[in-house]
Chains A and B, each alone.
Chain A
Amino acid sequence: DAKTTQPTSMDCAEGRAANLPCNHSTISGNEYVYWYRQIHSQGPQYIIHGLKNNETNEMASLIITEDRKSSTLILPHATLRDTAVYYCIVREGSSNTGKLIFGQGTTLQVKP
């Protein structure tokens, strides 16, 4: 599975959009981009995933560049409860292993 690179930490003002970048320059054609987050002392939580089209759900939007070498997770109106570590993971969609390998992630601090 391809390696991902994320900034170690970011700040965001409450009510503003939080844009979390991820580089995955070695991604291959059948690999999906997943985002999870981990709020302090809890287990990781799935946010969203995508292959090549932009995706949106009730939690966030995922923007994937046309060459698929990078993506951005967007939390449109960040709240204090969005303070967490955000993990960008690339995994082969057709693989039946199912395993997810987590990197170090981005610590997002939402400030009032």
Chain B
Amino acid sequence: DAGVIQSPRHEVTEMGQEVTLRCKPISGHDYLFWYRQTMMRGLELLIYFNNNVPIDDSGMPEDRFSAKMPNASFSTLKIQPSEPRDSAVYFCASSLVTEYTEAFFGQGTRLTVV
């Protein structure tokens, strides 16, 4: 398996524009997580899905953020409208939940909003 695949790797956009980040989890994994990382706040869990259903979105900062998982092999994180403070690295991770959790992370999307 190629691991968790995120696209794009880098995104530069202007304030007010819509941004869509994409994630393909590892095949067969039933959990998918979106994290945001900044110097100030570290790694923050934004939302996670189980079997394509959102379980906990309490980490989503504002209504400008939304996430979907239309099927087991694809998820999106959308920011509309984007703001400079949304600039961060966004990570997607997937896992199988057994007795313990080993999460596999993608390489991240570095978002810059100017």
Contacts and interface: CB of A to CB of B under 8 A. Distances in A.
Contacts of B56: 97, 99
A45 B100 contact: no
A91 interface: yes
A58 to B, nearest CB: 14
Interface of A: 32, 34, 36, 38, 41-46, 49, 87, 91, 93-94, 96-105
Which of A38, A41, A44 has the most chain B CB within a 10 Å cutoff? A44
A87 B43 CA distance: 10
A45 B103 CA distance: 8
A97 B55 contact: yes
Interface residues of B, number: 25
Contacts of B95: 98
B103 A42 contact: no
Contacts of A91: 101
Interface stretch (B11-19, B60-68, B75-83, B105-113): B105-113
Given A99-B45, A101-B45, A103-B42, A43 B99 contact: no
A98 B48 contact: yes
B10 to A, nearest CB: 11
Nearest to B3: A43
11 contacts: A42-B107, A43-B4, A44-B91, A44-B103, A45-B105, A87-B43, A93-B99, A98-B31, A98-B101, A98-B103, A99-B48
